[in-house]
Structure 1
Amino acid sequence: MRVRLAKEDVNSNYKVSLIDVSREKDFVKILEDYNIKYKRTEYFKDLFMYKLIDINSKFIMILQEKASNYIKYIEPVSIYSLPLQIEDEDGEIPVVYPEENKDYVTLGVIDNGIAHIKHLDPWIKRVHTRFLREETSTTHGTFVSGIALYGDKLENREIVKNEPFYLLDATVLSATTIEEDDLLKNITLAIEENYKRVKIWNLSLSVRLGIEEDTFSDFGVVLDHLQKTYGVLILKSAGNGGNFMKQLPKGKLYHGSDSLLSLVVGSITNEGYASNYSRVGLGPKGTIKPDIASYGGDLLRGDNGEMIMKGVNSFSRNGNVASSSGTSFATARISSLATIIYQNICKDFKDFSDFNPILLKALIIHSAKNTDKNLSVEEIGYGIPSTSTEILSYFKNENIKIFNGVMEKNQEIELDASFFNYKKDIKIKLTLVYDTEFDYLQKGDYIKSDIKIKNISENGKNLTRKFEGILERNKKIELYSDNDIKKNYTLIIEKLN
């Protein structure tokens, strides 16, 4: 039983997770015997959380005595609030409008609402909310959406090579704070109710708890379950930290940023450094997180201890050009990138039956490169992705082969001799991305079945693998696994010489 107490042991709301769900009735009886108010939130079958209202260490000691053998952990409920510094800037850019008779896909923006300003209103296809309009601040969601649609124009340079698409405003929190269980439930409902029409989701929200070394967070587990169940792709921000203001090392990624199926995004500065605030990995069990990074601006500590912002541009909720900094806004660029790629390869704009999140992840990760500052994988994962135009060119590039499939224990990939230009060997870049079944209750390994590449990438369990090296012409690429659970995969092989 893992216990984390609130600061100064003040009465707080605590969350409790059970290892043995068969003991749930025993647990509830203890709560009722001691007149503890509680709320049970179920995210999916057998994954639920109890929120105990207004308790302190005195009652936690009782739980340790009576229920420690079937409680996994007890810790304060994380409260999400939205601190956001937005500064108005000078400038104006033209409004882009939908073209008649043109098909667009929709990006879901899970946030605090999108203001219907002139630049965004033509693109807001639908609003999903459980809040009254006057309860919703729309500050953060508007800024995220502005970058997703107009990011390149606002920076006056090509980062994504933007194209327009529709937006779904999924408002999951109001202008006030929200506790973790309510936030996760609202995210779940947004995706459950809209997954048939929206396949790509921007989630630039985090609860303020650092990830664990060996255990995946409830937030991360819920995000993985949603993506497996509903066939969607979530782009998740790494989270922001203020340790640089105290001249301390960066903090670990926040809960939710350990989701293995999500593309998790860190932030870099205009100069190619990792942003001071961008939180770092690796993920639990040595998994690669964040996956990638993009431009999210910078925050600096001034000589007098003040915070200086060198922000990215977007829109305030009143429609003005404004600036701010955060991994949220780096994530919005990658959400835009993924949406544009899919919009260009999509054939089924009615049911989206051709949507393949594994392919999108693989394309983006394959394109990613380090900056000239040689940043660490803990800071930026696989690096900074290319533009949408360059990634889409892969489909017509004779030096790139893309394999999509389903495998169980073994799969052999054979390349034609012409791909080698009939040479003895060639230098290649190889990217493998796959999905798998998860042990959501984490009684064993969270990743139930992984894929390794024989003689190339065989260390650890991770859903992404990337490698550069020499491939001999007579050698097949052998993918293998430790069991026969079916796994969707994408393998990209690029000839470098």
Structure 2
Amino acid sequence: MNKLIQLSQNWHYRSSANLYSSFPKLAKNSVVKSKTLKVKKLQLMNILNFWEKKQDLIEGAIISAYYDTVVPKTHRIQQLFRQNTTKHPNNFIVGVRYLGNKDDDLRHVITYHVKIDVLKKTISEIEKTINLMDSSFNNEINNKDLERLENNPTTLFKNKSDAKRFAQTIIDVSYVEKFDVYLEDIDNTEEKIVSLYDLKTNTEDSSYLLDVLRKLGINKTREDILDRNVVLLDRDDLKILKEKGSFLVYAQSKDLFDLKKEFNADVSPKELSELPEPNNEPIVGVIDTTYKELGYFKDWVEYDNDFEDGIDHGNEVTSIIVAGPKFNPGLEDNCGLFRVHHFGITRGGRESSFRIVRRIREIVEAHPEIHVWNLSLGRPFSTNTNRISNEAAVLDKLQAEHPDILFIIAGTNLDNGRSKEEKQFNRIGSPADSVNSLVVNSVDVDGKAASYARKGPVLHYFVKPDVCYYGGDITHPLVTATSLGEKSVMGTSFAAPWIARKASFLMDKMHFSRETTKALIIDSASGWLTEKKDPKYMGYGVVPIDIRDVINCKSDEIRFIIRGISQKRITYSDGIPVPKDSLNKFPFIARATLAYFPTCSPNQGVDYTDTELSLQFGRIEGETSTAIKSIVNDNNVEKEYIPETDLRRWLGKWENVKVKAEKFTSRKKGKGVLGKGYWGLKLVSSERLYGYKHRPFNFAVVVTLKNLKGQNLNEEFKQLCIYNNWRVSDIDIDQMLQANLEGNTEINWTDDIDK
């Protein structure tokens, strides 16, 4: 087995030219007629009339732009609704959803909140555009007309800027199918958590939301507010909202966490032997049902219960994190023992989701010393396909704000008591739709999706669950410790804590960053694509049992981590010297896994993540380190237009995890040498929201090279890297564990291991 290698070198950064400074162009072969603009103008006039009558309720107008497909950010509105030269229309987006049920039929609806005078100005600009099209372009315009206008703008305008605004107005209208006011169908049969459009009148205070509700006849207090625009409403409140304000509602969800007893067998009254004294082992945070003190755990668990009693679920989860292999020797992961700080925030059964998510936020913010948090709580209902849940949004925000925490979340279980409609969809429940968290589903002893597993993806395209692990099944249940003795269990609740153990080992014992931790776990599960696995249920695959198989690699493989900070739009490395064979070929297939933690915007709905970081790894083609022939066929992404749906579905666009992997077969041949014979790594970032400058953020990439001839070229690779000015460090697990044992002595690797 070869040790993991850490490579480090100064990254190179490059800002790209402003992609949107060029003169606007229509889609290829498109023609826009002035009558199309006249229809859109009439729609906006009707919307203006609707909102002018409601200015005593809210200021401005809420307008939805309907598209006939999923659109990239470049096809969003650029000129319409622009307040001035600095206020881009993206600043006024308050909701983004999909219409359509199937992936091939999805289409965007983007909702804006603009001032009344801005809407009037937009209508006026469209009117001027129509008049000019009729008088100077024979009632229609195409790209040849725009090209002539670009070359000679002053024939019709004072300057080129005015000509660009005219052209961009036409482009905006050409992509929009219609403008309308979206009316949410409100279900008022039971208490709901309701997200109203975030009108951003006061970015910190909730008083504006309370005032709007009061004007509708709904009286609430700050205690009913979960976030700036999220409120808890009862059935009477919802009835009023349905009658008077459905146009203000973005999303709604049931206020219910329903943690039922998992699939448990009989309790064995077997006497449990006590564990040794703790020796400064890491602390994992567990947020679950109440904890009942066990002598077995004595000094290993500190607990804070909100209630005096509850089901044993919390004890069962915590027992796995502290000493899971003691009960389940077949799952010996060599991670050792862990202390737990257990927070019992529910008794189990039906609970207020509103209260649960508030408590989670309070607990995590009050305990910054804890890096890994296990959440084996979940909702029985399928996640919304158009919006991240309130619970997940809070977790994603916490992870974006705190750069050293990671949530491990159970993928939730199929509930046989649910409705026929729910069983049909069977999507994972909240908070397993958290994008930044590591979500874990269950497999049986044979590595197949468990019978109770629920499926992803999230928001149609985001891969969830991320990975899976052994959560027990009917014939091979897991064993846990409870207040009554050992208990046999199964469920995703008991798969997640095994991954929490691994995450804490990597972050707290090996001192890896959370980006590296997440990338290593996902990369170890993904493998070489030799087995068929359904990503809807299994994510990237099954994580190896032994932690050494997560970190190290086989003797015919080379595995290295490379970390950095995305400082500018393009981040790239110097050439990586991969060994060649006697035929001057690279005898390898490759896999690269990227992980980063972006800020997210719930009001962007299905366009949830703010930052896209693309990954290219492969041979450098030319003289510059940015010309890379990727190991997967995505080179044409930068050279030609590919539909946004395909980019999201096949290349993971806007996802915060990227796995680029070649499939291993016995017929694979070595790769020819290109350019100067080096490999390279390039990352390109994009901010979804205009007006935001590039925001630096951490990333980690795990690369694995598999030798097609079974050779061990690990040492040769390290020597080549040193010769080419890379700093090279072997990650020695035993050395780091010994250092921890001797009092958490910090080991300074050649480049300070990963932190």
TM-score using structure 2 length: 0.56
Q: Per the alignment, in what secondary structure is the counterpart of residue 453 of structure 1?
A: strand
Deviations 1:364-400 (A, max 9, x none): 1111147997330111101111221222436999811
Give the alignment partner of residue 380 of structure 1, picking from 522, 535, 538: 538
1:194 correspondence with 2:367? yes
Q: Rate the CA distance shift 1:49–1:244 in 2: closer, same or farther, 3 A.
A: closer
CA offset at residue 152 of structure 1?
2.3
Structure of higher RCO (CA pairs closer than 8 Å, 6+ residues apart): 2
SS of the residue corresponding to residue 247 of structure 2 reads coil
1:436–1:486 contact (8 Å) kept in structure 2: no
Instruction: Indicate conservation of the 8 Å contact 1:111/1:171, yes or no.
Output: yes
Amino acid at match of 2:377: L
Q: Which segment is superposed worse, 35-44 or 423-432?
A: 35-44
For residues 612 and 216 of structure 2, the distance between their equivalents in structure 1, rounded to whole angstroms, comes to: 45
For structure 2, the residue ranges without an aligned partner over 5 or more in a row are 1-182, 202-206, 617-629, 638-650, 663-669, 688-693, 708-755
How far did 1:262 drift?
0.3
Matched, 1:368 2:538: no
TM-score by length of 1: 0.84
**1:58 shift after superposition:** 3.6
Q: Is the 8 A contact 1:16 1:51 kept in 2?
A: yes
Aligned: 1:441 with 2:603: yes
Matched, 1:128 2:304: yes
Q: Given that residues 258 and 349 in structure 2 are in contact (C-alpha distance below 8 angstroms), is that contact kept between their aligned partners in structure 1?
A: no
Is 2:290 the counterpart of 1:113?
yes
Select the residue among 484, 487, 492 that pairs with 2:697: 487
1:317 aligns with 2:490: no
Give deviations 1:71-123, integer Å, cap 9, x for gaps.
Answer: 21344322434333532137556432235xx3321100010132221332221
Distance 1:26 1:50 in 2: 9
Matched, 1:2 2:184: yes
CA distance in 1, matches of 2:469, 2:434: 19
- What is the deviation of 1:474? 2.9
Q: Which moved more, 1:174-183 or 1:84-93?
A: 84-93
Partner of 1:306: none
CA distance in structure 2 between the partners assigned to 1:398 and 1:315 by the alignment? 39
| Letter aligned with residue 535 of structure 2 | V
Superposition pairs of residues 255-334 of structure 1, within 5 angstroms? 255-298=430-473, 311-318=477-484, 320-334=485-499
- CA distance change for structure 1 residues 56 and 443 in 2, over 3 Å: closer, same or farther? closer
Residue 327 to residue 238, structure 1, CA distance change in 2 (3 Å): same
- CA distance 1:452–1:281, shift in 2 (3 Å): same
- Deviation (angstroms), 1:357: 1.1
AA aligned to 2:592 is L
The DSSP-based 3-state class of the residue aligned with 2:604 is coil
CA deviation vs aligned residue, 1:340-366 (integer Å, no higher than 9, x gap): 2223313xxxxxxxx621111011111
Q: 1:216 aligns with which of 370, 376, 388?
A: 388
Structure 1 397/256 Cα, relative in aligned 2: closer, same or farther at 3 Å?
Answer: farther
2:431 partner letter: G
Deviation at 1:31, TM superposition (A): 4.2
Counterpart for residue 351 of structure 1: none
Q: How far off its partner does 1:418 sit?
A: 5.0
Please state which structure has a larger fraction of its residues in strand: 1
AA aligned to 2:660 is F
Once the two structures are overlaid, the 10-residue window that deviates more, 202-211 or 394-403, is 394-403
Verify: 1:411 aligned to 2:571, yes or no.
Answer: yes
SS, match of residue 97 in structure 1: coil
Cα deviation for residue 325 of structure 1 reads 1.4
Deviation at 1:68, TM superposition (A): 3.0
Instruction: Tell me which residue corresponds to 2:323.
Output: 150
Measure, in 2, the Cα distance between the counterparts of 1:479 and 1:186: 37
SS in 1 for 2:654: coil
Change (3 A) 1:298 1:249: farther
Range with bigger deviation, 154-163 or 21-30: 21-30
Letter in 1 for 2:370: V
**Deviation for aligned residue 1:311:** 2.6
Question: Which range moves more in the overlay, 328-337 or 422-431?
Answer: 422-431
Aligned-residue offset at 1:274? 0.6
Query: Contact 1:437/1:485 (CA < 8 Å) preserved in 2?
Result: no
Asked whether 1:359 is paired with 2:516, we answer: yes
Distance 1:58 1:475 in 2: 62
Residue pair 2:210, 2:221 contacting (<8 A) in 1 also: no
- Rounded to whole Å, the distance in 2 between the matches of 1:194 and 1:29 is 35
Q: Which residue of 2 aligns with 1:477?
A: 681
* Count of residues in Structure 1 that have an aligned counterpart in Structure 2: 463
Aligned-partner SS, 2:542 = coil
Find the counterpart in structure 2 of residue 349 from structure 1. none
Task: Report the equivalent of 1:305.
Answer: none
- Cα deviation for residue 32 of structure 1 reads 7.0
**Is the 2:383–2:429 Cα contact (8 Å) retained in structure 1?**
yes
Task: Go from structure 1 to structure 2 and tell me whether the alpha carbon gap of 1:240 and 1:26 turns closer, same or farther (over 3 Å shift).
Answer: closer
Q: Match of 1:298, SS?
A: coil
Once the two structures are superposed, residues 299-357 of structure 1 have per-residue CA deviations (whole angstroms, 9 ceiling, x without a partner) of 5xxxxxxxxx7531101222x110111101000111111112223313xxxxxxxx621
Q: Show CA shifts across 1:187-244 (max 9, x none).
A: 111101112x211000000123312223211111111011122231000111111359
TM-superposed CA distance for 1:61, in Å, is: 2.7
Identity of matched residues, %: 19
- 1:15 is displaced (CA, Å) by 1.9
For 1:51, the equivalent position in structure 2 comes to: 232
